[in-house]
Amino acid sequence: MVKVRLAVQYSGCCFLNINTRIVVSEFSRHKRKIMKYISCLMLLFFTLDSNAADICAEKQQFRIEYSRCLDQQIETMQRDLTTWENNHLIQLQEIAEKTGRTDPLKVFKRSRQSFKQYSTDHCRWQYLALIPDSNAGASAYKKCMINQLEQQIDILSKITY
């Protein structure tokens, strides 16, 4: 037996003092519930308090360090966005199981793909506009991606079911 005890209250994830005994062989039955708890905990760890582009501003005079800092911020924010998306996927799957309506889940999955394509294209034209100076173009692209990711995370964090 594995004993799980969580106390989490964060952005639509409300699990207060849940004390569940799970037999290892029944893990698959409780998998979705455990994944929901894990995703909510991850949200707590990955949420950023300040603008990610501002974190790298002090390194702007050193091109390589600045570029690496922006890359790290993008990677962190992409993980954060994935966590939010997975949280919504789990909730939408539960809604689909309860109601039998899978349309919200399908549309959400499609919107994820559309957002990725839009973000890439939106930031790419900014890079291409500055192409003779590839460093300035790369920085513009990365800052744009950071802004896109921040906005999407903010939107997903405010959605409740």
Domain total for the chain? 2
Q: Domain of 29?
A: 2-46
Domain with residue 83: its CATH number is: 1.20.1270.180
Q: Is 25's pLDDT higher than 90?
A: no
> In terms of domains, do 60 and 41 share one?
no
109 or 56: whose pLDDT is higher? 109
> In terms of domains, do 81 and 133 share one?
yes
One-character DSSP codes across 37-78: HHHHHHHHHH--SS-HHHHTGGGTTSHHHHHHHHHHHHHHHH
> In terms of domains, do 38 and 113 share one?
no
Q: Is 82's pLDDT higher than 60?
A: yes
Least confident span in 45-49, 95-99, 110-114: 45-49
What is the percent of the chain with per-residue pLDDT over 90, rounded to a whole number?
54
Q: Is 98's pLDDT higher than 70?
A: yes
> In terms of domains, do 25 and 62 share one?
no
> In terms of domains, do 27 and 65 share one?
no
How much is the pTM? 0.66
Q: Which residues contact 118 (CB under 8 A, 6 or more apart)?
A: 148
Per-residue pLDDT at 57: 75
> In terms of domains, do 35 and 83 share one?
no
> In terms of domains, do 38 and 64 share one?
no
Cβ burial, residue 92 (10 Å; 0-12/13-18/19+)? buried
